[in-house]
Amino acid sequence: MAEERMFYADLRGHFSPPREPLKVNAGLKLDLAAICLVPPEVTTIEEIIKAQHEGLKELHGQKNLRLIRYPSDLDSIGNGVTGVVCELENPPKDLNIGEENSERDNIKTNLQRLRDAGILIIALAYRELNAFGGGYRYPYARLTPWGDQFLSVCRQVGMIVDLSGAGHQTAWDALIHPTGVTFIASHGACYEVNGCYNPRNLPRAVLRKIAMGGGMVGIYTRTFGLHPSQDLLAHFCHHVEAAVESCGVDAVAIGSDGVYVKQAESVLRLERSDPDRCPPDQLGDLNRPDRMEVLREELSRNDRGEALVFSPEDVAKIMGLNILRFLKRALKST
């Protein structure tokens, strides 16, 4: 009997390197991905919508990509067609600007404009402080009153909120506020695992809270967030195991933040004081368009010592089925 085909999905992927035209590699093996068409430095409503529309033109120019807006769109992907869900990595700094009767109404109007432009997932914060709270450089910053309003309006317009770029305290505050929002951590890892205290990684208590609310946790393949110094696939598996132990296998997925093309080694190197001794930005074994197959093989191994042994069913969930089922449940039908 032929082996059943694996469904591959990435909660944060890139088809091309940053600031290059969107182009699908012929060797791509990916059925569904959440991507950002708008660079994070674009931060005003009008500029974001313009950049989003330009990105959509490139997306529609790729015959094997299919924009996802509604749960029913997910029924037509796979078998060579990759579904694309659009995310905004950095929330607009002028969400409350407009001609409506109140700033809250302006936030709702502008978020609806973003959703109408195809953006279904939006970050609460990215790297720095903003009107809503703190990015990962500010782990102790609190969610602000505006942040609370932002979350409430996200629920009203049906947008999923991503906490992967938020600081630890802002993320926790968002999760304990009774807003009814669906949260994800699209790409990151588990704070402290492997001795890695990178602020981009969220504490396991935060990840567990996301899962308890029906959200998803994506584990990335960026070396600096997996281990302080080493470039090993085993370290990625350690973070997947920790996330599964904290969140349950049904809430864990791949959120690689990786590029689905083969890149030059020099491009992969991080800019550090001693670049010859630092690991690449992405795990070296994954520098290929079929990187998901490498991850599947690694997670399927049963010879990793005391590591968790994942069943074939669990591997299939982590590699894609969890994201598919989550989006069918979380996306608005109209």
Site of tokens 């299919």? 66
Site of tokens 């939006």? 122
pLDDT of 1: 38
Per-residue pLDDT tens over the stretch 36-87 = 999 999 999 999 999 999 999 999 999 999 999 999 999 999 989 999 999 9
Q: HSE (CB half, 13 Å, CA atoms) of 44?
A: 4
Mark residue 134 as left, alpha or beta (left: phi above 0; alpha: psi -120 to 50; beta: remaining).
Answer: beta
Per-residue pLDDT tens over the stretch 247-273 = 999 999 999 999 999 887 666 665 444
Angle between helix 45-60 and helix 103-116 axes, rounded to 10 deg: 10
pLDDT of 306: 60
What confidence category does residue 275 fall into, taking pLDDT thresholds of 50, 70 and 90?
Answer: very low
Q: What is the token pair recorded at 217?
A: 């946790």
Q: What is the token pair recorded at 116?
A: 């109408």
Nearest residue to 279 (alpha-carbon basis) of 196, 202, 215:
196
% of the chain at pLDDT higher than 90: 78
With the C-alpha atoms ordered 227, 233, 238, 241, is the resulting torsion angle positive or negative? positive
Q: What is the 3-state secondary structure (H, E, C) of the chain?
A: CCCCCCCCEECCEECCCCCCCCCCCCCCCCCEEEECCCCCCCCCHHHHHHHHHHHHHHHHCCCCEEECCCHHHHHHCECCEEEEEEEECCCCCCCCCCCCCCHHHHHHHHHHHHHHCCEEEEECCCCCECCCCEECCCCCCCCCHHHHHHHHHHHHHCCEEECCCECHHHHHHHHHCCCCCCEEEEEECECCHHHCCCCCCECHHHHHHHHHCCCEEEECCEHHHCCCCCCCHHHHHHHHHHHHHHHCHHHEEECCCEECCCCCHHHHECCCCCCCCCCECECHHHCCCCHHHHHHHHHHCCCCCCCCCCCHHHHHHHHHHHHHHHHHHHCCCC
Site of tokens 């390197």? 17
User: Span 117-138, mean pLDDT?
Assistant: 97
What confidence category does residue 26 fall into, taking pLDDT thresholds of 50, 70 and 90?
Answer: confident
The domain segmentation of the chain, as residue ranges, is 9-330
The total of other beta-carbon atoms located within 10 Å of residue 294's CB is 16
- The CATH classification number of 9-330 equals 3.20.20.140
Site of tokens 């807003």? 179
pLDDT of 272: 42
The rounded distance, in Å, linking the Cα atoms of 270 and 236 is 18
